[in-house]
């Protein structure tokens, strides 16, 4: 938001000098300037009023000065500038301010702005929110068609924006009442398809790696191998894995995961092929900064490259990119005899029951059970 501050000094008809504290603002360069004047008895008083006006705008936004005239665009911009900002951590790694997924949050807010735009936030009710939900699911009103889960996430952001507006006293009540929230944000409404929760088979993984081992996708291959050999989540590898977490001598990688305001770290083994890829990246580093991200350049177009590679490798559409590889890691470890508590430690699960999903009833498990039963039958 752009803010201009001036003190106007004029003489009225009686010849008396009059001072005005003048503040002009606009959210972005495409908007018209808005202004607010406050009359003062002298220059000193005008300066105090000017500072007070500017402080209110910077702290609470223009809504505080123009009650009832705040647009959704202004609310969204204030939230992006003040709430959805990069996370700040203390010395122990706990988040004390901001959010981790800034880019994703801004994307969701921008989609909401496309629909609500310059609508007065006091005029946005549950009917308009229902209309947004329908438009987003059906792909109408110049919005792209998305899944219900995506709409739920975006409406959760909208609820947060209106809670901010309510806390700042920009609105008298939020449209997201308890009943409205239950109706609009159906957090467990979608039943996941079998494709979206299945693992990548060994044959599919080999074909994907072959496709990625080309000039177009080679920069993302180390990430694919890292997921295969560690089972780490996308955020842990792309957003939090730094060179200080890589120990080539002991062949160990320290994985970092955030949940809420808490941080958790645990070691995982470094396989020979992963070590080879990491050493290749190490040689390409220009600066030996231990805080630098390991896969900083591998993130470029990664999702786009992987989608194309999955399609070319014949992986059915609907199989999730990172999840399918992580799920395959867990399933393979479980089928090869990894004990549940050990697998839970590799995944960073505080509760071993969370890792139980990877003990699938596969053909390997069925054959193993058949052999045990056949041996028992022979002994009888």
Q: Is 189 exposed, middle or buried (0-12, 13-18, 19+ CB in 10 A)?
A: exposed
Residues making up the chain, counted from first to last: 380
**pLDDT at residue 190 greater than cutoff 60:** no
Q: Is residue 165 part of a domain?
A: yes
Domain termination residue (choose one: 143, 161, 184): 184
Token pair belonging to 64: 């505080």
Looking at the structure, tell me whether residues 120 and 202 fall in a common domain.
no
Determine contact, residues 49/21, Cβ cutoff 8 Å.
Answer: yes
Tokens 């919005």 label which residue? 143
**pLDDT at residue 282 greater than cutoff 80:** yes
- The per-residue pLDDT for 37 is 75
**pLDDT at residue 65 greater than cutoff 60:** no
DSSP string of 180-217, one letter each residue: HHHHH--TT-PPPPTGGGPPPPHHHHHHHHHHHSSTTT
- The per-residue pLDDT for 272 is 93
- The per-residue pLDDT for 362 is 59
Domain termination residue (choose one: 184, 209, 241): 184
Record the pTM: 0.60
Q: Is residue 152 part of a domain?
A: yes
Looking at the structure, tell me whether residues 33 and 113 fall in a common domain.
no
**255-264 CB contacts, 8 Å cutoff, 24+ apart:** 255/230, 255/348, 256/93, 257/233, 257/348, 258/95, 258/100, 260/95, 261/94, 261/95, 261/96, 262/94, 263/89, 263/92, 263/93, 263/94, 263/95, 264/348, 264/350
- The per-residue pLDDT for 6 is 87
* C-alpha pair distances (Å), 250 with each of 242, 247, 266, 293: 16, 6, 14, 20
Q: Which H or E element spans position 26?
A: strand 17-26
Q: Is residue 189 part of a domain?
A: no
Report the pLDDT averaged over residues 200-205: 94
Q: Is residue 158 part of a domain?
A: yes
Looking at the structure, tell me whether residues 268 and 320 fall in a common domain.
yes
Determine contact, residues 271/279, Cβ cutoff 8 Å.
Answer: no
Report the pLDDT averaged over residues 143-164: 92
pLDDT level of residue 60 (50, 70, 90 thresholds)? low
**CATH of residue 39:** 3.30.160
Tens of pLDDT along 24-49?
Answer: 877 667 777 777 777 888 888 888 88
Looking at the structure, tell me whether residues 202 and 348 fall in a common domain.
yes
Separation of alpha carbons 28 and 81, rounded Å: 12
Tens of pLDDT along 309-364?
Answer: 999 999 998 899 999 999 999 888 888 888 888 888 888 888 877 777 776 655 56
- The per-residue pLDDT for 324 is 92
Domain termination residue (choose one: 127, 151, 184): 184
Looking at the structure, tell me whether residues 26 and 90 fall in a common domain.
no
pLDDT level of residue 99 (50, 70, 90 thresholds)? confident
Q: How many domains does the chain have?
A: 3
pLDDT level of residue 263 (50, 70, 90 thresholds)? confident
**pLDDT at residue 188 greater than cutoff 60:** no
Looking at the structure, tell me whether residues 256 and 360 fall in a common domain.
yes
**pLDDT at residue 134 greater than cutoff 80:** yes
Looking at the structure, tell me whether residues 200 and 349 fall in a common domain.
yes
Looking at the structure, tell me whether residues 156 and 219 fall in a common domain.
no
Q: Is residue 255 part of a domain?
A: yes
Separation of alpha carbons 315 and 220, rounded Å: 18
Looking at the structure, tell me whether residues 326 and 282 fall in a common domain.
yes
Q: Is residue 380 part of a domain?
A: no
What mean pLDDT value characterizes the chain?
Answer: 85
Report the pLDDT averaged over residues 164-168: 87
- The per-residue pLDDT for 43 is 87
Determine contact, residues 302/287, Cβ cutoff 8 Å.
Answer: no
Q: Is residue 231 part of a domain?
A: yes
What's phi and psi for 216, nearest 5 deg?
-75, -30
- The per-residue pLDDT for 28 is 67
Token pair belonging to 16: 């008396």
Separation of alpha carbons 242 and 231, rounded Å: 17
Looking at the structure, tell me whether residues 273 and 331 fall in a common domain.
yes
- The per-residue pLDDT for 215 is 92
- The per-residue pLDDT for 61 is 58
Q: Is residue 219 part of a domain?
A: yes
Tokens 């809670």 label which residue? 163
Looking at the structure, tell me whether residues 158 and 277 fall in a common domain.
no
Domain that holds residue 261: 195-367
Looking at the structure, tell me whether residues 175 and 222 fall in a common domain.
no
Of these ranges, 8-22, 26-40, 116-130, 330-344, the one predicted with the greatest mean pLDDT is 116-130
């Amino acid at each position: 938001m752009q803010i201009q501050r001036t003190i106007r000094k004029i003489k009225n008809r009686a010849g008396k000098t009059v001072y005005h504290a003048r503040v002009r603002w606009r959210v972005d360069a495409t908007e018209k300037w808005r202004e607010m004047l406050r009359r003062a008895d002298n220059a000193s008083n005008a300066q105090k009023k000017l500072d007070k006006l500017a402080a209110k705008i910077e702290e609470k936004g223009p809504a505080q000065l123009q009650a009832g005239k705040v647009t959704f665009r202004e609310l969204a911009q204030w939230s992006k500038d003040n709430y959805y900002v990069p996370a700040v951590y203390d010395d122990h790694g706990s988040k004390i301010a901001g959010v981790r997924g800034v880019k994703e949050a801004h994307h969701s807010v921008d989609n909401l702005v496309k629909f609500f735009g310059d609508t007065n936030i006091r005029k946005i009710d549950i009917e308009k929110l229902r209309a947004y939900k329908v438009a987003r699911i059906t792909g109408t009103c110049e919005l792209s068609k998305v899944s219900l889960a995506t709409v739920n996430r975006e409406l959760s952001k909208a609820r947060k924006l209106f809670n901010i507006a309510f806390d700042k006293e920009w609105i008298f009540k939020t449209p997201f009442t308890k009943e409205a929230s239950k109706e609009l944000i159906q957090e467990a409404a979608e039943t996941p398809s079998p494709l979206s929760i299945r693992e990548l088979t060994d044959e599919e993984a080999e074909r994907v790696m072959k496709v990625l081992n080309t000039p177009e996708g080679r920069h993302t291959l180390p990430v694919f191998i890292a997921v295969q050999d560690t089972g780490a989540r996308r955020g842990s590898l792309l957003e939090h894995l730094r060179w200080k977490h890589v120990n080539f001598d002991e062949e160990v990688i320290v994985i970092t995961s955030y949940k809420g305001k808490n941080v958790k770290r645990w070691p995982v083994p470094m396989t020979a092929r992963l070590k080879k890829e990491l050493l290749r990246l190490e040689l390409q580093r220009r600066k030996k900064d231990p805080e630098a991200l390991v896969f900083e350049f591998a993130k470029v177009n990664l999702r786009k490259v992987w989608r194309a590679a999955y399609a070319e490798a014949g992986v059915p559409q609907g199989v999730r990119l990172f999840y399918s590889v992580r799920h395959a890691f867990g399933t393979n470890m479980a089928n090869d005899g990894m004990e549940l508590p050990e697998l839970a430690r590799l995944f960073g699960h505080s509760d071993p029951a969370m890792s139980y999903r990877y003990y699938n009833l596969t053909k390997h498990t069925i054959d193993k059970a058949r052999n045990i039963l056949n041996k028992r039958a022979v002994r009888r």
